[in-house]
Amino acid sequence: MALKKIKIAIDGPAASGKSTTARRVATRLGYSYIDSGALYRAVTLAALRQNIPVTNVEKVAEIARALNFRICQKDEDTQIFLNSEDISMAIRQPEITQNINPVAGNMRVREILVTKLREMGKHGGIVMDGRDIGTVVFPDAELKIFMKASANERARRRVAELRAKGVAVQANAVLAEIKQRDTADQNRKHGPLIKAPDAIEIDTTTLSIDEQVEEIIRLALAKINAA
């Protein structure tokens, strides 16, 4: 008898280790990995390319509604395609991070993208990470994780990640961006970053990626075997 395929929701602030850990957990379980933040970044990228102010609620919502994207897994890398273009690197540029807050806080955009995300994960067998997966997108997820880490450690990780990809950044600027993003994520009116009441909190400040993965795998297998 096949084991039930559950939904695993992983939430947390920027650079808390969500994406890398979620991707590896999905690979280990044979699940699909869905990076919800990539959708918001794709909308931000499209708006900037079309010279539409990211603060224009209606115009940006129109972009989100028309967004034609697909997410592909390649080993431990995730490729994001907008139409036929691979935008995996483009959406990780500092310009996107600096302009994403109004897009992420746009109620119309969130409604559209939440619907898309729910459709992608409705059959289970997915690991989805973001800011409001366990509270808004999949409040019925069988396993909810809330990952956190100190701002300084998250900044260090983000700098290392970007420099490894050839993106020149200043550590103090990245730390300031992370703190600014935390404030925006926690205080936005729609889909704020909060821990679901039934989420399991994991502080990753001193944990390696392997340790994070093993802990979530343990929790996931307990849920799957009990289903």
Question: Sign of dihedral through CA atoms 25, 29, 30, 31?
Answer: negative
The residues with which 144 forms a beta bridge, in sequence order, are 9
Query: 0.85 exceeded by the pTM?
Result: yes
| Separation CA 139–CA 16 (nearest Å) | 21
Kindly calculate the radius of gyration of the chain based on its CA atoms and give it in whole angstroms: 17
| b/e code 33-62 from CB counts within 10 Å (16+ = b) | bbbbbbbbbbbbbbbbeeeeebeebeebbb
Instruction: Check if the beta carbon of residue 20 is closer than 8 Å to that of residue 160.
Output: no
- Give pLDDT, residue 43: 96
Question: What is the mean pLDDT of the segment spanning 94-109?
Answer: 92
- Two structure tokens written together for 132: 């409001």
Instruction: Check if the beta carbon of residue 76 is closer than 8 Å to that of residue 27.
Output: yes
Q: 30 burial class (0-12, 13-18, 19+ CB within 10 angstroms)?
A: exposed
- Give pLDDT, residue 72: 78
First to last CA, the chain: 12
- The label of the residue with tokens 């939430």 reads 11
- Two structure tokens written together for 192: 């704020």
- Give pLDDT, residue 2: 52
Q: How far is CA 116 from the centre of its chain?
A: 14
- Two structure tokens written together for 204: 């990753």
Instruction: Check if the beta carbon of residue 13 is closer than 8 Å to that of residue 192.
Output: no
- Give pLDDT, residue 79: 83
Domains and CATH numbers, the chain: 7-207 (3.40.50.300)
The answer for residues whose C-beta is within 8 angstroms of residue 59's C-beta and 6 or more apart is: 47, 52, 53
Give residue-wise pLDDT tens across range 36-73: 999 999 999 999 999 999 999 999 999 999 988 888 77
Q: How confident is the model at residue 1 (pLDDT cuts 50, 70, 90)?
A: very low
- Two structure tokens written together for 148: 């956190």
Q: How do 77-82 and 85-86 pair as beta strands? A: antiparallel
